[in-house]
Amino acid sequence: MLQDVYSKQQNEIYCAQNQGVISNSITQSWTEQALECYELNCVCEKCSVAKGNYSFVCQMPKVIKQLLKVTGKPVM
């Protein structure tokens, strides 16, 4: 029984209460994670974060889109 409860908790997905608004603090400069996502062309199956089994839906593709608008393509 306890195993069933634990299993259900792991399958829940966290949904932020921000109505889909991306924080300005993460759209001002290219972070290591943003660069990885950009290089992978936002293919989540290849991402190191996606392999971590986190309980949230990745917002990085939205961040990448905003970074491109605000700062342009990264210098690599």
Tokens of 45: 């199956």
Q: Is the model's pTM score more than 0.85?
A: no
Nearest C-alpha neighbor of 39 from the set 2, 1, 75, 3: 75
pLDDT digits (tens, 9 = 90+) for 20-68: 666 777 778 899 989 999 999 988 888 887 777 676 778 888 889 989 9
**Which residue type occupies 13?**
I
